[in-house]
Amino acid sequence: MEYIKIKDLTFTYSGSARKALDNVSIDIEKGDFAVVCGSSGSGKSTLLKMFKKQLIPKGELIGEITIEGEEIKHMSDHDATRKIGFVMQNPDTQIVTDKVWHELAFGLENLGVAPDVIRLRVSEVSQFFGITTWYHKSTSELSGGQKQLLNLASIMAMNPEVLLLDEPTSQLDPIASIEFLESIKRINNELGVTIIMSSHNLEDVYGMSNKVVVVEDGACQLIGSPIEVASGMSDMQTHPIYDGLPTSVRLYHGMEIGGVCPLNVKEAREYLSLNIQNKNSILMEKDQAVPKVNDNVIEISGCYFRYNRNGHDIIKGAELRVERGEITAILGGNGVGKSTLLKVIAGVAKPYAGKVIIEGKNIKSYKGNSLYRGLIGMLPQDPTLLFRRNTVREEILSMKSNMEESTIVTDEELVKLLNLEKILDLHPYDISGGEAQKVAFAKVLKSNPSIVLLDEPTKGLDPLAKRVLADLLLSLKSQGKTIIIVSHDIEFCSMYADRCSMFFDGGIVADGNAREFFSGNSYYTTASARIAKGFFEGVVTTNQLIAISRHCL
């Protein structure tokens, strides 16, 4: 008998006409590592919530989910809490207590476990997850990756048998993301916990799983092993989540020669070496790189910045030059200060030494509103930090317009450009992450900035939303605007940025056009580049990889 059986599950949110889940039936074996993928709004989060009695939203539920024959809705409170664990997307909002050790003990305290037993379990779990070094820290001091790991450990302390994770890595940077996934893999391998995880970035997790479920419009489109689903997706290249599939899978599809589908970088390299005729490294033709005009719209020199007098310098002697009309990406690890650099450019953070020159003038010489009307606009990392009104419409209308001289003059045109018509009357907190970002973008664009700054714009976006964002940025670029992105999303930057810089140790350490930047790096580069290493030179994006592989068959 299957361990978990989802049978004819249909769910409609109360007040909604359309079905969030439509007759979903899935069987999951004990110890499976299942990945549920689908675009935003496909129903994957709803599906996961159905497992947890306490999290089932208000609405009409038909069908059942059984675990070892016992229906979820008939489970005792104790079992429903302990046996099934749930990790949510946002690392910050899940944490309740002020200290790490207390958070670990939280679930056990709720279950009424005796303090001695709690002590044992908490120490066990800390050691398993490597938390012992930061056991006594305050939860506010932790990095995003540590917080999410803490959430995981706190739930694992209760010894669940099934672990559900709703896009757990979408808010994390790539390194933290991989570490988190490896912890999940360990839990699955060493403890035999059944994992059901939803995600739209499958690059790293696809190869770890043993069952993949593709969900779209509330219905289950494909179920099978990773290889089965990969084959099934070969003619679905326009599917919203296709770009979320691992590079190796897309390479396999693109080459169209069959064989065993590679699921990760290593297998992809083996696949290439098996199938490529010319085994010597082949120089990829350099397409005409746009020559540097040296028309610098922004210049930063010798900047030093720190948040308070007794802290250390976040920015140490940074130098940066940004060309007009280009998309410049600033990359770097988590928490190093890239966002701070952006704030310096935006005039929000004031360096105590050095110069920031915008359009030839020192930033300090811009009086009153002149810096923010028609010159600089910044999209913050968390777009909801700009919202305080009741509808999207009000949010957009409330922003003073400066668009008389731009190509988009009226609010209506702006709404049309960003495709916001359908959500105009919704509350800003009731829309998806991608939509929220667009609404925030609308507000920023209303001041008609010629320099657009974006802080981690791809965080939490599904592949389709990333595509939409990319199209928007390209259209802004064609209007002559200068765009600066701070991001840790290497894939996105490799595809759309003209120039890339790496921020490290308080300053810019590398700078070059995107192609040179990525193909020159060994570690800090795209999956395609890593697959192509030793075979082709100058390959950075997936499309380039597929094109040249086909060419060399």
Partner 1 sequence: MSRLERYHPIIVFLYFLMCIITVMFTMHPVIIILSFVISIALSFQLEGCRKVGKSLLYIIPIMIIIALTNPLFVHDGGTELFFMNGNAVTLEALIYGVMISLKLVSIIYWFRAYNYIMTSDKVIYLFGKVSPRLSLLLTMSLRFVPLYARKFREADDASRALGAYATSNIKDKLMAKLHVFAIVFSYSIESAVTTSDSMSARGYGMRRRTNYHNFKWSMSDTIMFLFVALGCVTLATIMILGYSGFDYYPYVDDINIGVASIVMYVSYFCLASIGMIMEIKEAVSWSILRSKI
Query: Closest approach of Cβ 246 to partner 1, in Å?
Result: 30
Residue 92 or 270 with smaller CB distance to partner 1? 92
Query: Closest approach of Cβ 260 to partner 1, in Å?
Result: 40
How many Cβ atoms are within 10 Å of 259's Cβ, its own excluded? 10
Residue 115 or 480 with smaller CB distance to partner 1? 115
Tokens representing 263 are: 């699921």
Query: Closest approach of Cβ 440 to partner 1, in Å?
Result: 9
How far is the C-alpha of 65 from the C-alpha of 2, rounded, in Å?
Answer: 11
SS3 538: coil
Site residues for partner 1 per CB under 8 A: 52, 54-55, 77-78, 81-82, 86, 88, 90, 92-99, 101-102, 105-115, 118-119, 122, 138-140, 151, 154-155, 158, 343, 346-349, 368-373, 376-378, 380-382, 384-388, 399, 429, 443-444, 447, 453
Query: Closest approach of Cβ 379 to partner 1, in Å?
Result: 9
Q: What is the CA radius of gyration of the chain?
A: 25
> Angle of helix 144-156 relative to helix 174-191, nearest 10 degrees?
20
Query: Closest approach of Cβ 49 to partner 1, in Å?
Result: 9
Query: Closest approach of Cβ 387 to partner 1, in Å?
Result: 7
Residue 151 or 541 with smaller CB distance to partner 1? 151
Tokens representing 232 are: 């099934």
Tokens representing 73 are: 């809705």
- Give percent helix, percent strand, percent coil of the chain, each to the nearest 5: 40, 25, 40
Query: Closest approach of Cβ 77 to partner 1, in Å?
Result: 5
Query: Closest approach of Cβ 61 to partner 1, in Å?
Result: 17
How far is the C-alpha of 479 from the C-alpha of 445, rounded, in Å?
Answer: 12
Q: Chain centroid to CA 45: how far?
A: 16
Residue 195 or 272 with smaller CB distance to partner 1? 195
Instruction: DSSP letter for 399, please.
Output: S
Residue 287 or 405 with smaller CB distance to partner 1? 405
Residue 118 or 272 with smaller CB distance to partner 1? 118
SS3 50: coil
Residue 282 or 399 with smaller CB distance to partner 1? 399
Tell me the H-state helices in 300-418. 338-346, 392-398, 411-418
What is the amino acid identity at position 549? S
How far is the C-alpha of 444 from the C-alpha of 459, rounded, in Å?
Answer: 18
In a 13 Å sphere around the CA of 254, the CA atoms on its Cβ side amount to 24
Query: Closest approach of Cβ 542 to partner 1, in Å?
Result: 33
Residue 376 or 469 with smaller CB distance to partner 1? 376
Query: Closest approach of Cβ 497 to partner 1, in Å?
Result: 21
Cα-based distances in Å from 423 to 148, 391, 445, 467: 31, 9, 18, 19
202: left (phi over 0), alpha (psi -120 to 50) or beta: alpha
Instruction: DSSP letter for 138, please.
Output: B
DSSP letters along 202-218, please? Answer: -TTTTTT-SEEEEEETT
Residue 279 or 361 with smaller CB distance to partner 1? 361
Residue 112 or 311 with smaller CB distance to partner 1? 112
